[in-house]
Structure 1
Amino acid sequence: MTGTTGRVALVTGASSGIGAATARLLAARGMRVVVNYLSSSKAAEEVVADIEAAGGQAMAVQADVREVAAVDNMVGQVQAAWGGVGVLVHNALIPYAVKSFQDMTWEELGGKLDAEMHAAFAVTKAVLPAMTEQGWGRMIFISTGLSRRPRENMIALGTSKAALEQFGRYLAQELGPQGITVNIVAAGPVEDTRMARMTDVFDEEHKRRQVAATPLGRLAHPADVAQAVAFYAGEDNAFMTGTTAAVNGGMTMY
């Protein structure tokens, strides 16, 4: 196998936004891409159609990544069709409450933490045997700058993503000897995503302040995040693991 051509990449939550942009880019770079989705079958099939129209290979597979049986079934389908997954991009957005700690219940905070980590645990467990057998693997977890820089009413998302990032670092330490890298892409505010469309929470004035706080003068597009993911997913990334790429135009620097 030359480079990543022919590698199987599983992108969770890939029917729109960052996931869809990532699926298209990885396919353009020669990977066979699994477009995972929860409920948007039409959108997922459109991503597959776009990839195939451009000469790539893709399949759409439905699975709720919070459910172990569903994840195992999905990976089994991929294994039967294409073989083992070599690249995991865990992007699926787990729902969360947008409110202050004072107004939040434990079910809202603890539920988000549990669902976030359960999903990451399930997809990682499912793809790991094939990566171990291949002696090669790339895992990329999509996070947010809110894991390090708090913002009003975002405690559920920021806390759960901080846990996800530390999970990724522990995996990087353990799996490095097996030829598997694990990295984080921490996105700043991104246009054209479900989160960006929450107009009841993030109005135009909020967006204007975010742009003003960004040295590069705009918010990220899904393609900006996909570019960072694609680097981590490829052969060029031979010696970076346990790292975090901040894709935020300089809004937060660390």
Structure 2
Amino acid sequence: MTGATGRVALVTGASSGIGAATARLLAARGMRVVVNYLRSVAAADEVVAGIEAAGGQAMAVQADVREAAAVESMVEQVQATWGGIDVLVHNALIPFAIKPFQDMSWDELGGKLDGEMRAAFAVTKAVLPAMTGQGWGRVIYISTGLSRQPREGLIALGTAKAALVQFARYVAQELGPTGITVNIVEAGPVEDTRIVNALGEEHRQQQVAATPLGRLASPGDVAQAVAFYAGEDNAFMTGTTAAVNGGMSMY
């Protein structure tokens, strides 16, 4: 198969934000896109309708990605319609507490870690049989710069995403011989997200001032990096991290 046409991409948490932008972009590039959502059925249907109106193919499938049985059921539903999943974009945001460590319970910190890794484990396990069977696959995990750079009140998110990033590297190493690439897109602050909104306008302006490109990322900025990693042409990058942060952090 040449080009992206016909490839099936599963985007978790795709009813809004980065996930929705990614679903639209992958569909515009010829992929058939599975728009996964947890509760926002109307928003997911709207993403699908927009993709179809633009001439693409998409389907919305509900699943809590923390639940292995729900993920397996979703993948079976996709297989029955379109066959195996070629591209996994794991974007779904597992809920987390925003508070200082001293005010945090183990259930809040440990629960975020557990939910983050359960979801990554479940979705990765579910898509691997089809990918390994054909000797081709693309796996992209959405992370955050908070996995490297601490920010007040965000220890649960940053710690969980750091675990996700290291998990991704191990998976990349193991799956390389099978023809599957595994990469991370590390987003800086993104406009109209829970974190940016929760921290307030003053904090947002401080982040803009600290960004050489002079603005925060849009969901579309992050989607562009995901689409690169998902493409046929990206054949020799695996275990890498693309930092989409406008130069706020440079590694």
- TM-score bracket, shorter-length normalisation: over 0.9
What residue number does 2:35 align with? 35
Q: Residue 194 of structure 2: SS of its match in structure 1?
A: coil
Q: Distance in 1 between matches of 2:12 and 2:163?
A: 18
Q: Which residue of 1 aligns with 2:212?
A: 215
Contact 1:11 1:19 in 2 (8 A): yes
Match of 2:116 in 1: 116
Structure-2-length-normalised TM-score: 0.99
Superimposed CA distance per residue, residues 76-97 of structure 1 (whole angstroms, 9 cap, x where no aligned partner):
0000000000000000000001
2:244 is equivalent to residue 247 of structure 1: yes
> Which residue identity is paired with 2:77?
Q
Which residue type is aligned with residue 215 of structure 1?
P
Instruction: Determine the structure 1 residue equivalent to 2:76.
Output: 76
- Report the structure, 1 or 2, having the larger helix content: 2
> Identity over aligned residues, as a percent?
82
Q: TM-score, normalised by structure 1?
A: 0.98
SS in 2 for 1:45: helix
Match of 1:226 in 2: 223
Superposition deviation, residue 5 in structure 1: 1.1
1:134 positional shift: 1.0
- Is 1:192 the counterpart of 2:189? The answer is no
SS of equivalent residue, structure 2 residue 102: coil
Deviation of 1:236 after TM superposition, in Å, equals: 1.4
| One-letter amino acid of the counterpart of residue 158, structure 2 | G
Aligned to 2:59: 59
Q: Which residue of 1 aligns with 2:164?
A: 164
Shift in Å at residue 2 of structure 1? Answer: 1.4
Once residues 220 and 143 of structure 2 are traced to their aligned partners in structure 1, the CA distance between those partners, rounded to angstroms, is: 15
TM alignment of 1:2-13, pairs within 5 A: 2-13=2-13
Q: Is the 8 A contact 1:146 1:154 kept in 2?
A: yes
Q: Who is 1:238 aligned against?
A: 235
State the match for 1:179 in structure 2: 179
TM superposition shift of 1:197:
3.1
CA distance, structure 1, for counterparts of residue 245 and residue 195 of structure 2: 15
**Deviating more after overlay: 179-188 vs 1-10:** 1-10
Number of matched pairs? 251
Gaps of 5+ in 1: none
C-alpha distance in 1, partners of 2:13/2:88? Answer: 12
Contiguous gaps of at least 5 residues in structure 2 = none
How well do the aligned residues superpose, as a CA RMSD in angstroms? 0.6
**In the aligned structure 2, how far is the partner of 1:41 from the partner of 1:107?**
29
For 1:122, the aligned partner's letter is A
Residue identity opposite 1:248 in structure 2: N
Cα distance in 1 for partners of 2:54, 2:4 equals 18
Partner of 1:147: 147
Instruction: Check whether the contact 1:18–1:193 (CA below 8 A) recurs between aligned residues.
Output: no
**Residues of 2 paired with 1:215 and 1:104: CA distance?**
34
**Residues in 1 aligned to 2:203 and 2:164: alpha-carbon distance in whole angstroms:** 26
Equivalent residues of 1:17, 1:194 under 8 A apart: no
